[in-house]
Structure 1
């Protein structure tokens, strides 16, 4: 850990660094807890510069959004918090060292992360917090935030990547994935719809998190939401991206790489809790058109993630970290099973959505 301590010393912190511990290791980035003297802590993060190639713009986005949120919460006396960024000794918000890009952030004390929802309160709080993120950033002009990952949630783009992967995939991998490949083509037209509506400017552009999963929220000891974290993918987008990704990742009855496909279904009680919390914060922000298409956002994000996992499997696992040879195939099967569940319960999903916003069925 001496190397990590050296990295920390390149930032503007006064306290001696005592220890650096692994805090989280996700699909893309690695995160560490930095313990200093006088019980002062920080969060050190290594940003994957193979995935995020435009590091300067990513950091600019994160700094703008976090500063805006901090100012908004201060003005409104909100209970929500924001992890601000610590500058380097060269007066930058990141350093490049040891084969990576590193940022140092404030640590929010008395907080915890939850990888998997245990009860409806946690899900409700997640809905409120991500809804608040959408509402609180609605006053940022979208042209201030740079699109750092172009076409990130574009189905046509992800479908193109899938088709290219399919052309050069090993025969054995195509055979293993044939049922999934057929399912992808079967749903193609329906899953293109949200991207087509976005291109027609049917919805307003908003600042979206683009990785709105439960582990990117900090909770207090009583499971109240405290903060949205990990702003690497903050970009202009449509609300359906965050809403759909949250439901995909939070309201599944299994974990993302579970092989129990029969149990991989949408938890409607969790969905109702999330939707209620999200609607509390966004009712006065979203247009009726946006609300109308929230259910389609759920199906679309499940499709996108299933497609991305499948594409990586066909490409011999070059993007996501894997634990075994068929890990991405398992993930893809899981997401498509969840999508089948969302299709099965789609009428109930729409009813819950419109009820949360106190609207008639407007589809």
Structure 2
């Protein structure tokens, strides 16, 4: 056993006990935190045995985010099996490299891929080695590659029957539902409980929400009129959910597949743009540095539309700019709602973090809105390529 300094001895012993449901204790060399996810707790398990792979992912799943955690593993098993059987790469329908998928490990004790420990649910996934992910786009990686990776993922799942996937999050990326939650909040009560400085910050965001809310629900209205096709989508294609091969700098996997469920392509594209085209990142400490980079957007779309996607329709083109605008508004509202509900959904390191996150997303929304006509022109320039 090799405890890691960032984990207390007590916590390490608990993690080791959980991991021992999947591995023999004498084979566990170390367990350490990995990643910066806002929902689940994720750890890298290193083994010192030659009979198994060296690294695995151990996760504690969030009961706050997911109503029925068993659905996550059911979906992941279906997705993993579907990807492993797909011939879309071997028959040259898609360019290499092939996309891989983390696989669930079964407990050596119960045979189940989900175990309970002290009231929490845990699982182990295979680790995709020789890969890297990023919080912001590094200089040696082109935004083009994110577009290629996302369209390959969409096409890889395009023949997966929707009825095989369960909904893990209801009303995901539905802006008017987040607005309903916000409208039902006892805002005045919350304002009486926070500092004067934070009152000013919340009231500024409140004014923005009330003035701009109609722009956030345009895609919702389009969906209600059944103008978009329901397809398997990732649901959370933010920058750090793309894994790059360390040698080729090509995407070899998309991870954090808990949000894969029936959804809409333009939600995935809008969410990916929201994440990669803000070079200051989601946790930016300077709002002056938060804006949409149109060159990154153009390069990303160039990658996405470099591969023919027959499922991307004229209506998708017509509403894509609206999705790119609504996704930072919707996430900003979710962060603000969580702050006003005392941080019960997203993980936080400090009390006001969700308020700061909300400010970043709403600033990005304003940047997208001010560049909306230009964004529409960039999108329409790719219309002839499909």
Give your verdict on TM over 0.5: yes
Q: SS at 1:103's partner residue?
A: strand
Counterparts of 1:116-155 in structure 2 under 5 Å?
116-119=136-139, 121-155=141-175
Q: Give the drift of 1:158.
A: 0.3
Counterparts of 1:98-113 in structure 2 under 5 Å?
98-113=118-133
Partner of 1:34: 45
Counterparts of 1:85-100 in structure 2 under 5 Å?
85-89=104-108, 90-100=110-120
1:223 aligns with 2:243: no
Instruction: Give the Cα–Cα distance (whole angstroms) in 2 for the partners of residues 139 and 233 of structure 1.
Output: 18
Say whether the 8 Å CA contact 1:244–1:294 is kept in structure 2.
yes
Normalised by the length of structure 2, the TM-score is: 0.87
Q: Give the drift of 1:192.
A: 1.2
Instruction: Give the Cα–Cα distance (whole angstroms) in 2 for the partners of residues 103 and 201 of structure 1.
Output: 37
Runs of 4 or more above 6 Å deviation: 12-15
Q: Give the drift of 1:272.
A: 1.1
The 1:32–1:66 alpha-carbon spacing in structure 2 relative to 1, beyond 3 Å, is same
1:57 aligns with 2:78: no
Counterparts of 1:287-326 in structure 2 under 5 Å?
287-326=313-352
The 1:166–1:291 alpha-carbon spacing in structure 2 relative to 1, beyond 3 Å, is farther
Instruction: Give the Cα–Cα distance (whole angstroms) in 1 for the partners of residues 335 and 245 of structure 2.
Output: 33
| 1:179-202 C-alpha deviation (Å, 9 max, x unpaired) | 211111112222111112112211
Gaps in structure 2 of 5+ consecutive residues: 1-11
Gaps in structure 1 of 5+ consecutive residues: none
Instruction: Give the Cα–Cα distance (whole angstroms) in 1 for the partners of residues 86 and 321 of structure 2.
Output: 29
Q: SS at 2:347's partner residue?
A: coil
Instruction: Give the Cα–Cα distance (whole angstroms) in 1 for the partners of residues 29 and 211 of structure 2.
Output: 56
The 1:299–1:231 alpha-carbon spacing in structure 2 relative to 1, beyond 3 Å, is same
Cα RMSD (Å) of the superposition?
2.2
Of 58, 66, 83, which residue of structure 2 is paired with 1:69?
A: 83
Q: SS at 2:102's partner residue?
A: coil
Of 183, 196, 206, which residue of structure 1 is paired with 2:208?
A: 183
> In the comparison of the two structures, how many residue pairs are matched?
360
Q: SS at 2:205's partner residue?
A: helix
Of 236, 243, 256, which residue of structure 2 is paired with 1:211?
A: 236
The 1:256–1:204 alpha-carbon spacing in structure 2 relative to 1, beyond 3 Å, is same
Q: SS at 2:384's partner residue?
A: coil
Q: SS at 1:352's partner residue?
A: helix
Of 6, 16, 29, which residue of structure 2 is paired with 1:18?
A: 29
The 1:296–1:255 alpha-carbon spacing in structure 2 relative to 1, beyond 3 Å, is same
The 1:198–1:349 alpha-carbon spacing in structure 2 relative to 1, beyond 3 Å, is same
Instruction: Give the Cα–Cα distance (whole angstroms) in 2 for the partners of residues 94 and 322 of structure 1.
Output: 25
